[in-house]
């Protein structure tokens, strides 16, 4: 017997038929003798609609700083999960599974007081554990919390993954199963790489790196929480009975792949400042104002200019921030003393990720070699302990991702 938290995402509860199908997954686990608590998202698309309605009337955009309008918006936005919570409990009862709904205030799931981006502070376990011991399935709306003062909050977009992981930690569950519309975590985007494979296991750290460079299966915050609390996660599909991908601690993976995945992100844009004065304080002068304006800088390359007295500075920002970044730099052109500013939206960041890199040399070299053989020019490079990323021209995305996937032996037979 195991204790499980089963979480169903928006597409897995998109309508009554999908909710019935999800309830059958719960029944299967109960019939196998497991204790189960369920966490649900809102029906696919519903949260967007609720956010839009609230925004149309109230002077508040979701996730902005807290004020009275933010609190009321959360009352609206949190209802999506309340609907699916009740429907799921009904669907379980209809299948003969004892079930009841537990809203955030009834448990309670206590959060801080930051509408649209609340953080969970504590979850009381005793009533839920008692219900489960009594053969009942508690059904909990994801995404919602309640402040100490009794106001409703929501946890930020995608937050029901975090609800599920936090609940699994509180209940000391053996596993938290995240049911979604894909069969698990893949070695690469199956839409680009036909030979992409579903991974049986992946480490928390690899999952975090994958999420940070474009593979959005789980909310990043939920993976961080799972890693910190040691919650074993499984990503699997509610549309099939196939086992999914386990997200676990490195110790649980015996055969560590050198590279577990190849990801890409079209989210970045490149800025090059030419002939910037080569003296102490210049990088601080360039990146300081960007940081103050909340513009995140990712890859940075600095090199010596032809005259030896100045330097060229190339870096990337999120595409959506490009215009703002350019305006900030242009406004300081005189102070910074650069000769030219070139911007380029036509770039993609391709990353290879794997914990095996820690103990094996040559991963980056193999990447550079593979790209060279395809005639693909590398414009910038960054590395972490378990990731190598390169910036290349966007038109080479598919070619690069496929080449790397096969060079590291990830192709399905
Ligand atoms: N329904 C919320 C959203 O769409 C939370 C979630 O589904 O994770 O962001
Ligand atoms: Mg989600």
Q: In what order do the strands lie in the sheet with 261-265?
A: 261-265, 347-353, 387-393, 380-384
Q: Are residues 267 and 368 in the same domain?
A: yes
Instruction: Report CA(108)–ligand 1 centroid distance (Å).
Output: 19
Residues within 5 Å of ion ligand 2, judged at the Cβ atom? 9, 158
Q: 184 in ligand 1 pocket by Cβ < 6 Å?
A: no
Min mean pLDDT across 25-39, 91-105, 292-306, 383-397 is at 292-306
Number of C-beta neighbours around residue 134 at 10 A:
8
Look at residue 125 and tell me if it is in a domain.
yes
Identify the CATH number of the domain in which residue 267 sits: 3.30.2130.10
Is the pLDDT score of 23 beyond 70?
yes
Look at residue 216 and tell me if it is in a domain.
no
- Ligand closest to 155 (CA) is 1
Instruction: Report CA(126)–ligand 1 centroid distance (Å).
Output: 26
Ligand 1 atom closest to Cα of 161?
8
Instruction: Report CA(47)–ligand 1 centroid distance (Å).
Output: 6
Q: 160 in ligand 1 pocket by Cβ < 6 Å?
A: yes
Look at residue 224 and tell me if it is in a domain.
no
Look at residue 33 and tell me if it is in a domain.
yes
Look at residue 237 and tell me if it is in a domain.
no
Identify the CATH number of the domain in which residue 162 sits: 3.40.1160.10
Tally the domains of the chain.
Answer: 2
Q: Give the model confidence (pLDDT) of 173-228 as tens digits.
A: 999 999 999 999 999 999 999 999 999 999 999 999 888 776 678 999 999 999 99
Instruction: Report CA(160)–ligand 1 centroid distance (Å).
Output: 6
Q: Give the model confidence (pLDDT) of 37-89 as tens digits.
A: 999 999 999 999 999 999 999 878 888 877 789 999 999 999 999 999 999 99
Look at residue 223 and tell me if it is in a domain.
no
* Residue 86 structure tokens: 């009740």
Q: Are residues 22 and 138 in the same domain?
A: yes
Ligand 1 atom closest to Cα of 42?
1
* CB proximity list for 254: less than 8 A, separation 6 or greater: none
Q: Are residues 165 and 277 in the same domain?
A: no
Q: Are residues 150 and 14 in the same domain?
A: yes
Q: Are residues 39 and 169 in the same domain?
A: yes
Q: Tell me the three state secondary structure of residue 163.
A: helix
Ligand 1 atom closest to Cα of 162?
8
Which three-class secondary structure string do you get for 279-317?
CCCHHHHHHHHHHHCCCCEEEEEEEECCCCCEEEEEEEE
Look at residue 197 and tell me if it is in a domain.
no
Out of 147, 166, 181, pick the residue that ends a domain. Answer: 181
Q: Are residues 301 and 173 in the same domain?
A: no
Q: Are residues 288 and 164 in the same domain?
A: no
- pLDDT (mean) for 232-252: 95
Out of 181, 216, 241, pick the residue that ends a domain. Answer: 181
Domain range spanning residue 168?
A: 3-181
Out of 181, 208, 232, pick the residue that ends a domain. Answer: 181
Instruction: Report CA(9)–ligand 2 centroid distance (Å).
Output: 5
Look at residue 74 and tell me if it is in a domain.
yes
Q: pTM here? A: 0.89
Q: Are residues 277 and 170 in the same domain?
A: no
């Amino acid at each position: 017997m195991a204790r499980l938290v089963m979480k169903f995402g928006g597409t897995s509860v998109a309508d009554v038929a999908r909710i019935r199908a999800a309830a059958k997954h719960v029944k299967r686990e109960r019939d196998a003798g497991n204790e189960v608590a369920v966490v649900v998202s809102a029906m696919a698309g519903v949260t967007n609609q609720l956010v839009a309605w609230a925004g149309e009337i109230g002077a508040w955009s979701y996730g902005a700083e807290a004020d009275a309008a933010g609190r009321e918006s959360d009352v609206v936005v949190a209802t999506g999960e309340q609907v699916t919570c009740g429907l799921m409990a009904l669907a379980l009862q209809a299948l003969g599974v004892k079930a009841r709904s537990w809203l955030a205030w009834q448990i309670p799931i206590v959060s801080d007081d930051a509408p649209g981006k609340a953080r969970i502070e504590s979850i009381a376990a005793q009533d839920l554990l008692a219900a489960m011991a009594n053969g009942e399935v508690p059904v909990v709306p994801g995404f919602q919390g309640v402040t100490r003062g009794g106001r409703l909050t929501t946890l930020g977009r995608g937050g029901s993954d975090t609800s599920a992981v936090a609940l699994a930690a509180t209940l000391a569950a053996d596993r938290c199963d995240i049911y979604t519309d894909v069969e698990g975590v893949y070695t690469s985007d199956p839409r680009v790489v036909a030979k992409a494979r579903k991974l049986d296991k992946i480490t928390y750290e690899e999952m975090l790196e994958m999420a940070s460079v474009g593979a959005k299966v789980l909310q990043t915050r939920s993976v961080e929480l799972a890693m910190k609390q040691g919650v074993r996660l499984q990503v699997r599909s509610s549309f099939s009975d196939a086992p999914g991908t386990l997200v676990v601690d490195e110790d649980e993976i015996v055969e560590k792949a050198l590279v577990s995945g190849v990801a890409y992100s079209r989210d970045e844009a490149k800025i090059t400042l030419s002939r910037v004065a080569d003296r102490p304080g210049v990088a601080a002068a360039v990146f300081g104002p960007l940081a103050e304006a909340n513009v995140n800088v990712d890859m940075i390359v600095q090199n010596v200019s032809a005259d030896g007295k100045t330097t060229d500075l190339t870096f990337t920002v999120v595409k959506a921030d490009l215009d703002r970044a350019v305006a900030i730099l242009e406004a300081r052109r005189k102070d910074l003393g650069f000769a030219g500013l070139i911007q380029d939206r036509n770039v993609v960041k391709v990353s290879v990720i794997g914990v095996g890199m820690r103990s094996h040399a040559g991963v980056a070299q193999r990447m550079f070699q593979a790209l060279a053989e395809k005639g693909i020019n590398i414009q910038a490079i960054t590395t972490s302990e378990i990731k190598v990323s390169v910036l290349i021209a966007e038109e080479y995305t598919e070619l690069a991702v496929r080449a790397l996937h096969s060079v590291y032996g990830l192709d399905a037979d």
